[in-house]
Chain A
Amino acid sequence: MLFDQAIDIPETLKGDAVSVTLMEERARYNLRIKSTDLTEFKKLTGLKLPRKINTSSAAKDVTCLCVGPDEWFVIAEAKSKAKLDKLLAKASNKFVCSVTDISHRNVGFEITGAKASRLINVGCPLDMAIEAFPVGKVTRTIFESAAILLRRTGEESFQIECWRSFGPYLRDFFVRASRDF
């Protein structure tokens, strides 16, 4: 087994009210761009970077998340990595920017179910009401002692990413808290 995230998800986290799964291998990039005009960037790379902070745009295999005024996360299927490597290398040469491969820095969880937002509120202080945190919204925030990247992918579905060594901590938190659900 070459690729190993070393996080087991116990069966108890596969409930009806809430279910947690570990995301498979992904290509991930941190992107910083000086220019405020992103159309040229799109022309060159095909990536549509959302301009508005804390929003995301999802294409078929690539999602771009705007997490800071000049900062994006690009998350893609692992199979797209070679292609994206090339495109972003090209962009690096053309723009005043920073592209950093962080594919292995993070691990991700998908949390779904009617009580998904309650599970998130066990450790994350943000308001998860759909009006306050609509589908597509994304942000870096905190889950107790772990910094996380939080994205709402549906009314009852979320993705949480964290640095890989914080993954077991989040998983343990989910296990403990879900006992009360």
Chain B
Amino acid sequence: MFEIHCPYCDEKRPEIEFAYAGEAHIVRPNAQDQGEMSDADWSQYMFIRDNVRGEHCERWWHQHGCNMFFNAVRHTVTDKFVMTYKMGKSRPTAKQIADAKK
């Protein structure tokens, strides 16, 4: 069971309080874009995932806690969390990730 740092509660909490919510930073196309998108483009948004073997940006929901969704960078081979950050913040740069590892 992971121990996950919730950026809103600002403390580490056990994984069973959280629900995994999939890859992060997949932005839902706005109404106009949806209208213009082909089925193929739309399926990219809907289904295609990086599924990286390495540092993965992903969403978690502190379901049994502050009830907030947030983002995390986690290494999918070691399962180690590099950082967590609030919803709305952009994808961290390579440098930010490297700094967080220090």
Contact = CB atoms under 8 A, between A and B. Distances in A.
A54 B8 CA distance: 10
Given A54-B9, A126-B14, A142-B17, A147 B67 contact: no
Contact of B66 (A67, A126, A142): A67
Contacts of A54: 9, 11, 66
Given A54-B9, A139-B9, A69 B14 contact: no
Interface in A108-156: 125-126, 139-142, 147
B64 A53 contact: no
A136 to B, nearest CB: 15
Chain B interface, >50% SS class: loop
Chain A interface, >50% SS class: strand
**Which size bracket describes the interface of A in this complex?**
10 to 19
Interface of B: 1, 8-11, 13-14, 16-17, 63-68
Given A142-B16, A142-B17, 17 more contacts: A54-B9, A54-B11, A68-B67, A68-B68, A69-B68, A71-B66, A125-B1, A125-B14, A126-B13, A126-B14, A139-B65, A140-B65, A140-B66, A141-B64, A141-B65, A142-B64, A147-B64
